[in-house]
Amino acid sequence: MQSSHVPHHIAIVMDGNGRWANKRFMPRIAGHKQGVESLKRCAKACDARGVRVLTVFAFSSENWKRPTEEVTGLMDLFAMALAREVQQLKADGVQLRFVGERQGLSARVLKGIEQSEADTAANTRLVLNVCFNYGGRWDIVHAAAKLAGSGQPVNEQTLSSAMSLAHVPDPDLVIRTGGELRISNFLLWQSAYSEFEFVDTLWPDFDEIALDAAIASYSSRERRFGKTSEQIKPNAPAGAEG
């Protein structure tokens, strides 16, 4: 077992808002609203624990297929939450980055994205990547198209640096709330060697205790990256390094 340590980069599929609302006989959008509160709490808790990058899945390329009412509600909520929260995020040292396809977003949403990125660009405490209109396949195709147009060779390094999270290291820990055991087109490329934690807790209920449990689980694992256990243990026998 490795010594207890905090992941540098945590990525989260914030799932379960709709079920949280259904259980309370509330409209699904009420769950999404509570989801924003949960994200604020989680970002603060991550910062307090020394996490430096938090990446969250807020709206997938496929979420456009939901009923119009929910999509419109989510877009409105996103624009409102940005406008309301940006000054606090700025004061807290959070650098906001939006990751995903911007074509197809409304002028209002785009303005909120651009403004809040500009307002928080100089912050360095915590990078908060919000994946919005994002899909892992989109990310890979987008990067490949960029490379193809640039004349650069295609290899893991050039492709990585053309991807949307090139400004941060790969996630150490990927958490999915809401009980589903799937990745739903999240960070397909970047999660190649991430540790995964699937929890039943619905996203609006995901609190500091749940975060600590996920971090504790992470810190008890041995990340081998293809090597043997003997190679990565600090007091490995001579000749086993590499």
Identify which of residues 9 and 32 has a Cβ nearer to ligand IPE in the complex. Answer: 32
> Tokens in use for 28?
């699904």
Residue 218 interface partner, choices Mg ion, ligand IPE, none, CB cut-off 5-8 Å depending on type: none
Q: What whole-number distance in Å separates Cα of residue 146 and Cα of residue 10? A: 27
Stretch that binds ligand IPE, among 36-44, 51-59, 89-97, 101-109 (CB under 6 A): 51-59
Q: What whole-number distance in Å separates Cα of residue 162 and Cα of residue 54? A: 20
Identify which of residues 50 and 179 has a Cβ nearer to ligand IPE in the complex. Answer: 179
Contact 1, 222 (CB under 8 A): yes
Q: Please, where are the H alpha helices in 100-207? A: 107-120, 136-150, 156-162
58 near ligand IPE, judged by CB under 6 A: yes
- What residues between 11 and 30 interact with Mg ion by CB under 5 A? 15
Find the shortest distance in angstroms from Cβ 65 to ligand IPE: 9
57 near ligand IPE, judged by CB under 6 A: yes
Identify which of residues 63 and 158 has a Cβ nearer to ligand IPE in the complex. Answer: 63
15 near ligand IPE, judged by CB under 6 A: yes
139 near ligand IPE, judged by CB under 6 A: no
Angle at 13 between CA 78 and CA 21, to 5 degrees: 65
Find the shortest distance in angstroms from Cβ 15 to ligand IPE: 5
Find the shortest distance in angstroms from Cβ 152 to Mg ion: 37
Find the shortest distance in angstroms from Cβ 109 to ligand IPE: 14
- What residues between 184 and 223 interact with ligand IPE by CB under 6 A? 184
Which residues are catalytically annotated?
15, 63
Q: What whole-number distance in Å separates Cα of residue 10 and Cα of residue 211? A: 10
Handedness of CA 191, 197, 202, 204 (dihedral sign): negative
Contact 165, 2 (CB under 8 A): no
* Residue 208 Cα distances to 30, 67, 94, 142, 167, angstroms: 21, 32, 18, 35, 27
Footprint on this chain of ligand IPE (rule: CB under 6 A): 13-19, 57-60, 63, 74, 178, 180, 182, 184
Footprint on this chain of Mg ion (rule: CB under 5 A): 15
